[in-house]
Amino acid sequence: MEIDVVGRAAPVRDVLAPAPQPAAPGRSRWRGWLTGYAFVAPAVALFLLMGLYTIGYGVSLSFAEWNGFTPTWEWVGLDNYLDLLYRDPGLAPGLHRAALNTAVVMVVVPLGTIVLALPLAVLLNRVTRLRGLLRSVFFLPYVTSGIAVYYAWRYLLEPEGPINFLLRSLGLGGLARPQGFLADPATALPTLIVIMIWSAVPVAMLLYLAGLQSINPNVVEAAQMDGASPARVVRHIVWPLLRPITAAIVLLGLRDSMQGFQIFLVMTDGGPAGHTDVLGLQAYHLAFFKGLSSTLGLASALGWMIFLAALALTLLNARTLRSGR
């Protein structure tokens, strides 16, 4: 399943740039090709089995109206897309609101992740003694992320939960939420965003740390001896190395915020009163929580719109970060 099963690392770069093999003549070239196909065969076979049918099915369903039971689909063309976007007054407003929440998540989560992860990586890079231990501790939120830790958070965030308790005992009772953090419309979405950042920081921090460590100290030293200001060192030596990492973090953050909804499903289910509704969750509700009414096509259409938006944003992201070179 695509949902959250893929990890969150690996910067994109043009791994295929040069053609790897010198052209061999005749028979051996054919043999080489065959070997290549043999190596990709299992992956392609698996895709043909699990991917092709499901994607094809999903795409065609997005142009139909169906409740999962009738023997035939009713083809409706682009109706599902248009209804979702603006036409159906019963659907569009809810969707706009979810899109807005998704947009907030999409901007704040990657940004927050970077704002926390980069300084942490810099600090960690300077510490020598406890680095291993700290790195392990910092990594806990990633390895534990999932339904188990969401339940722990729910407990922490309850009206009589430890976080309110902590705030009150620190004399910060004014910050405590008597309704709990998830039931309170003012804090529900921000709280979920904080938790998403909390689970995204570890990988980002580790990537930055690896990037910082790959900076050649001699180059930095030489630059400093030449009288380069710290700002120049950062701009010309450090940042070029960190930029691809940042791009990867932003990319994966975008993807997670657009498609991931596990945390919303487990923690709030979109509540209170839609304050934490996001697009992925809406699609899930349309698909499975409508008392078997014919909204499967709508769910699928929404999913593909998310796909297109994610793709567009990624290309844009790649372009801006490249042109910043």
Partner 1 sequence: MSAATTAAPPAARGRAPGARAGAVRLVGLAALALYAAVSLYPFLWMVSGAFKDRFEILAGGHLIPVRPTLDTLLQTWSELRFLDYFLNSLRVTGFTVLGVLAVYSLASYAFAVLDFPGRRALFWFFVGLLFVPGITVLLPVVILENRLGILGTHLGLVLPFVNGTAPLTVLMLTNAFRSVPRELHDAARVDGAGEARIFWRVYLPLSRPTMITVAVLVAVPTWNEYVLTRVSLTEESRYTLPLALESLATGNVPQYNEIMAGSLIIVVPVIVLFLALQRYFVSGLAGAVKD
Partner 2 sequence: MTGARPLSSHRRAVAAVTAVLLALVCAACSSGGGGATSAGGGAALEMWTFKRTHLDALKQAAREFQRQTGVAVDVQAVTPDDAFTAKVQSAAQTRSLPDVLEVHAGGEDFRIGGAGLLADLAGDFPAAALGRFLGDTPRAGLVTEERKRQVKELKDAEMGSLFSIPFTAGTFGIVYAHREKLEAAGLDPAVPPKTWQEFIRYLKATTGADPRRGGLALGLKVSQVGFNWIYSQLAFAHLGKERYQRLFARGAAQGFASPDGAETLALYGELTPYWMPGTTALGIDEADVAFAQGKAAFNVGGTFTLAFLAQNGVKPGDLISFPIPPPDGAKVADLRLAPLALTGLSVTSTSGDRAAAVKWVDFLTSPAGAGIFAKAALDLPATDLGADAEKLVGADLAALQRYFTGPADSTFDAADGTFRPPGYDEAKIGPVLLKLSPLRETDPVRTGAQLDAVLGDMWKSTS
Q: Which of residues 153-192 bind partner 2 (CB under 8 A)?
A: 154, 158-160, 178-180, 182-183, 185
Nearer to partner 1, 89 or 253 (CB): 253
**In the complex, minimum distance from the CB of residue 275 to partner 2, in angstroms, rounded to a whole number:** 9
Rule CB under 8 A: which of 73-92 touch partner 2? 88-90
111 binds, among partner 2, partner 1, none (CB under 5 to 8 A by kind): none
Q: Is 246 in the site for partner 2 (CB under 8 A)?
A: no
Among 11, 58, 94, 141, binds partner 2 (CB under 8 A): 94
Q: Does 244 bind partner 2 (CB under 8 A)?
A: no
Shortest CB 6 distance to partner 2, Å: 21
Q: Which does 113 bind (CB under 5 to 8 A by kind): partner 2, partner 1, none?
A: none
The span from the CA of 222 to the CA of 7, in Å, is 38
Q: Is 100 in the site for partner 2 (CB under 8 A)?
A: no
Quick one: 82 or 265, whose CB is closer to partner 1? 265
Closest distance to partner 2 from the beta carbon of 286 (Å): 11
Distance of closest approach, residue 43 Cβ to partner 1, in angstroms: 4
The yes or no reply on residue 293 touching partner 2 (CB under 8 A) is yes
Tokens 């290309």 sit on residue: 315
Nearer to partner 2, 43 or 123 (CB): 43
Q: Which residues bind partner 2 (CB under 8 A)?
A: 67-71, 88-90, 94, 154, 158-160, 178-180, 182-183, 185, 268-269, 271-274, 284, 288-289, 291-294, 296
